[in-house]
């Protein structure tokens, strides 16, 4: 298994599967702040890899006659088209989660339709509804995790989307969830090396680096704002 077709997962779907607790169906704690920004970054990277948008001078530009084949990418293209000016990638990573309502649900709905997740809804204090998405078919994520281990620990060549996924995994602080303690140092170095390796195109390398940095910056800002509000 060496390509995305084998896994039948998009970049954003793969990221969300890795960030979800299989039994609880909620985002693992360490990724909970970053995940919305990472999903936004993943959607933009999907559009870049598809040739629907381009990154030039750190700004995201729609390619003429761009179309999308998923709800997330369609929603992102709509926001890009509505903007009065061309904006930088970090602006979009930080703001798309606020502009696109329930951005994660666009992905969980897809994974539910594919039979990978199940949607559970329950009431909290008999007032608020909370949705959880436990795994019902673990084989796609198991294949994905094996592929990640082959790339990171086995030094298999990474495809563009896989290099992008690993950059977002790092930004979401998911390395500890994917690797045993004794492998984490090697994994971090390998993922860092992948972001600047010549095996991925320069444009993709720049986009992945920019998206990863934007996710980290947005997460840091969100944590700081939360701390200020609680203090």
pLDDT digits (tens, 9 = 90+) for 65-120: 778 889 999 999 999 999 999 999 989 998 999 999 899 999 999 999 999 999 99
pLDDT of residue 12: 96
Please give the torsion angle defined by the CA atoms of residues 171, 174, 178 and 180, in that order, rounded to the nearest 10 degrees: 100
Closest C-alpha to 20, from 101, 120, 96: 120
pLDDT band at 193 (very low <50, low <70, confident <90, very high): confident
**Long-range contacts of residues 50-57, Cβ cutoff 8 Å, at least 24 apart:** 52/77, 53/77, 53/80, 54/203, 55/89, 55/203, 55/206, 55/207, 55/210
Domain of residue 169 covers 4-219
Q: Is residue 173 part of a domain?
A: yes
In a domain, 226, yes or no: no
Taking the CA atoms of residue 203, residue 148, residue 145 and residue 117 in that order, the dihedral angle to the nearest 10 degrees is 0
Q: Is 121 part of a structural domain of the chain?
A: yes
DSSP 8-state code for residue 64 = T
Residue 226 has pLDDT above 80, yes or no: no
Helix axes 202-230, 89-99, angle to 10 degrees: 50
Distance between CA atoms of 41 and 77, rounded to whole angstroms?
13
State the Cα–Cα distance between residues 17 and 7, nearest whole angstrom: 12
Q: Is 130 in a helix, a strand, or coil?
A: strand
Tokens of 175: 């390395």
Share of the chain above pLDDT 90, in %: 61
pTM: 0.87
Number of domains in the chain: 1
Q: Strand (E) positions, the chain?
A: 53-56, 59-62, 120-124, 128-132
Using CB atoms within 10 A of its CB, is residue 117 exposed (0-12), middle (13-18) or buried (19+)? buried
Question: Is pLDDT at 129 greater than 90 in this prediction?
Answer: no
Confidence class for position 122, pLDDT limits 50, 70, 90:
confident
- Choice between 201 and 187, residue whose per-residue pLDDT is larger: 187
Task: Give the CATH number, domain containing residue 65.
Answer: 1.10.3630.10
Examine residue 34 and state whether it is found in any structural domain, yes or no: yes
Two tokens, residue 82? 């509505």
Residue 200 placed within a domain: yes
pLDDT for position 52: 93
Residue 119 inside a domain? The answer is yes
In a domain? residue 228: no
Would you give the DSSP letter of residue 181?
Answer: G
Does residue 230 lie within any of the structural domains? no
Ranges 66-80, 136-150, 160-174, most confident = 136-150
pLDDT for the residue numbered 10: 95
Q: Taking 60 as the threshold, does the pLDDT of residue 140 lie above it?
A: yes
Instruction: Report the chain's mean pLDDT, rounded to a whole number.
Output: 87
């Amino acid at each position: 298994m060496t390509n995305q077709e084998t896994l039948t997962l998009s970049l954003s779907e793969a990221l969300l599967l890795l960030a979800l607790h299989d039994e609880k169906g909620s985002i693992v704690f360490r990724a909970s702040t970053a995940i919305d920004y990472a999903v936004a970054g993943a959607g933009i990277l999907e559009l870049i890899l598809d040739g629907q948008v381009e990154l030039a001078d750190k700004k995201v530009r729609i390619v003429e006659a761009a179309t999308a084949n998923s709800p997330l990418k369609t929603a992102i293209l709509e926001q890009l088209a509505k903007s009065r000016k061309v904006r930088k990638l970090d602006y979009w990573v930080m703001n798309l989660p606020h502009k696109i309502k329930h951005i994660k649900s666009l992905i969980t709905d897809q994974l539910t339709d594919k039979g990978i997740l199940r949607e559970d809804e329950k009431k909290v204090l008999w007032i608020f509804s909370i949705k959880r998405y436990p795994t019902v078919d673990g084989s796609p994520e198991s294949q994905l995790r094996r592929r990640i281990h082959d790339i990171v620990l086995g030094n298999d060549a990474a495809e563009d989307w896989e290099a992008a996924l690993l950059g977002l995994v790092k930004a979401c602080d998911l390395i500890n969830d994917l690797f045993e303690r004794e492998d984490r140092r090697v994994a971090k170095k390998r993922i860092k090396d992948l972001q600047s390796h010549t095996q991925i195109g320069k444009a993709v390398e720049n986009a992945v680096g920019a998206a990863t940095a934007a996710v980290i910056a947005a997460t840091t800002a969100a944590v700081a704002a939360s701390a200020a509000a609680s203090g």
